[in-house]
Structure 1
Amino acid sequence: MTTPLFLLRCVQLGLSMGDLDFLTIGLVNDMFTERENDDCHYDVMADQRDFDAF
C-alpha cells in the first residue's frame, strides 16, 4: 500500500491526522474493509446453535 492510498482510505473513513496517533495501519485497513462489507447481505445468518456446533 502506498502512502497516498493509505491517506485516501483515512479520508474516506473520516479520520483526522490526530486520530492516526492512536491507530495502526492494520487497524485502518480493517476499518476500511469492514466499512466496505457493511452493504453485504448474507442469505444465512449464524445463530447460537451454529456457534455451538462449530
Structure 2
Amino acid sequence: MTTALFLLRCAQTGISIQDLDLLTVGLVLDIFTEKINDDYKWPKMATQEDMDRF
C-alpha cells in the first residue's frame, strides 16, 4: 500500500489528518473494510439455533 492509497482510504472513511495521530494503519484498514461490508447483503443471518449447532 502506498501513502497515496492510504490517504485515499482515510478520506473515503472521513478520517482527518489530525485523527491519524490517534489511529494505527491497521485500525484505519479495519475501519475501511467494515465500511465496505456495511453495504453487503448477507444471504442469511445466523439464528440462536444455528449457533447452538455450531
Q: Same fold (TM over 0.5)?
A: yes
- Matching residue of 1:41: 41
Unmatched 5+ stretches in structure 2: none
* AA in 2 matched with 1:43: P
CA distance in structure 2 between the partners assigned to 1:26 and 1:18 by the alignment: 17
Equivalent pairs counted in the alignment come to 54
Seq. identity, %: 61
Q: Which runs of at least 4 in structure 1 moved beyond 6 Å after TM superposition?
A: none
Root-mean-square deviation (CA), in Å?
1.1
- Matching residue of 1:21: 21
Worse-matched range after superposition: 16-25 or 3-12: 16-25
* Deviation readout 1:11-32 (Å, 9 max, x if unpaired): 1111111111111101110111
CA distance in structure 2 between the partners assigned to 1:30 and 1:48 by the alignment: 27
Unmatched 5+ stretches in structure 1: none
